Structures are given as structure tokens and as C-alpha cells.
Chain A
């Protein structure tokens, strides 16, 4: 089955840049979406189709996707960015949605 691999955790100091990766065999040709989830809350989409930001999402967040890895980059990290981040892909071979295992971003 299709698997998306994320690092369990990423730590970064305030003001620095955080990169969260999402690996998958064919992810470079797939539409990848990213969600942010804070404790006790529902997920919120923060990046869609790899590089597009919904309205209200700061420009500090950016995305890329090539080869076997999609990346969510958060520049000038703030304390409020501390959350769990999930990538998501629609697997056309199985007609299943697939989520990555999630990455916990810690702001030091």
C-alpha cells in the first residue's frame, strides 16, 4: 500500500527555518496537501497542491514537491507554529486517501 514517510519530530529555534519532509515513491507526481493540527483541535489545511497557500496562511510558509519528497518550509519560525504537521495524498491506484505519520514541530 502507498506509504508517506515523515520524520516524527523537528526542532528549531525561533526565527530559524524549519523543513518538514514527506517521502513517497511517486509523490513528485501527486497532489500533496499539508495540514497543521494543534493540541485538542481539528486539522487545518495550510498548503495545498504542494505549493499553494490558503488565504490567511502567512507567506512564511512555503511548499515544494519533486522526485520522491515533498517539503513544507516554515521560515522565521514563531512559537505559535508549534504543532503537528501532516502531509496527505490521494492514491489513485487504490482510491484511498493517505496521510503521512505526522511531524511534531517543537520551537525551542
Chain B
């Protein structure tokens, strides 16, 4: 059974940091590119960051570049998102999502249920 479980969300003050994790099971993590996608309350989906299966290549949305860092540990089947210098506009549910590697334009096969990050003073 495929499972992606995000943790680490919560309430944080503007300018502070937070680290999200996504624990994966049920598929071969090391053969999947992984992504973070967020959804602000009542809004649409926004892609945040991607990392290739080997962890070498990383891509970021312009809105988060330089503040958020995606990483993975294939030995632990874990995806992470280090979030620094958080802003109110980063408030959203953060989903991790995976796509089978080998094609840059492959759809997201699997999604987690998301974790809520609220940036507020």
C-alpha cells in the first residue's frame, strides 16, 4: 500500500524557519522524482520544488527560490523541505508528490495528504 505522510507543519512567526518531512512507503522511493506542491487556503495548487531520484538536480518555483530547500534521503525513504525566512504568503497545505523518474514531464503518480503551515505573528 502506497503511503506518503507529511509531518512538520504548524504555526510559525514570519521570518522564522520550519522543516517539513515526507515519509514514503509502498513504492521504490529511489526510482521516483519527488515534489512539494502547496495550496493556500481556498486557492489552487502551486508547485514549489522538485528533486530528481538521485537527489542531484533540484528545481524551485521563483516564489521560494533562495528560501526553501528540497532534499531527500533514499536510505530512509524520506523527502524534506527546509523552509527559511517564512512569509505570510507561504501559508498553505504542503503536499509531497512523486513521479516515476526517467521523464521530466511525467505526471505525479502519488500524493500525500498534506501538512498545514501557517505563518503568522
Q: How far is the CB of B3 from chain A (nearest CB, A)?
A: 12
Whether a CB of chain A sits under 8 angstroms from the CB of B35 is yes
Kindly specify which of B9-17, B43-51, B77-85 makes contact with the partner chain: B43-51
B45 and A95 form a contact (CB under 8 A) = no
Please classify how large the interface on chain A is, using the bins under 10, 10 to 19, 20 to 34, 35 or more. 20 to 34
Q: How far is the CB of A76 from chain B (nearest CB, A)?
A: 25
B107 and A33 form a contact (CB under 8 A) = yes
B111 and A98 form a contact (CB under 8 A) = no
Interface residues of B in 26-48 (CB under 8 A from A): 35, 37, 44-47
Whether a CB of chain A sits under 8 angstroms from the CB of B112 is yes
> Knowing A1-B62, A33-B107, A92-B104 touch, does A97 contact B50 (C-beta < 8 A)?
yes
- C-alpha gap A49/B113 in the complex (Å): 24
- C-alpha gap A42/B111 in the complex (Å): 6
B109 and A97 form a contact (CB under 8 A) = no
Most buried by B among A31, A49, A97, A101: A97
Please classify how large the interface on chain B is, using the bins under 10, 10 to 19, 20 to 34, 35 or more. 20 to 34
A96 and B59 form a contact (CB under 8 A) = yes
A97 and B47 form a contact (CB under 8 A) = yes
A98 and B95 form a contact (CB under 8 A) = no
Residues of A within 8 A of B107 (CB): 33, 45, 48-49, 88
Instruction: Please give me the residue from chain B that is nearest to A44 by CB atom.
Output: B111
A101 and B114 form a contact (CB under 8 A) = no
Q: How far is the CB of B48 from chain A (nearest CB, A)?
A: 9
Instruction: Please give me the residue from chain A that is nearest to B112 by CB atom.
Output: A42
Residues of A within 8 A of B111 (CB): 42-44
B59 and A42 form a contact (CB under 8 A) = no
A99's partner among B45, B50, B62 (CB-CB below 8 A) is: B45
12 additional A-B residue pairs with CB within 8 Å, beyond A33-B107, A84-B44: A1-B62, A35-B108, A41-B113, A43-B45, A44-B111, A88-B108, A95-B59, A96-B47, A96-B59, A97-B35, A97-B50, A100-B44
Q: Which residues of A contact B (CB under 8 A)?
A: 1, 30-31, 33, 35, 37, 41-45, 48-49, 84, 86, 88-90, 92, 95-102
Q: Which residues of B contact A (CB under 8 A)?
A: 35, 37, 44-47, 50, 59, 61-62, 95, 104-109, 111-114
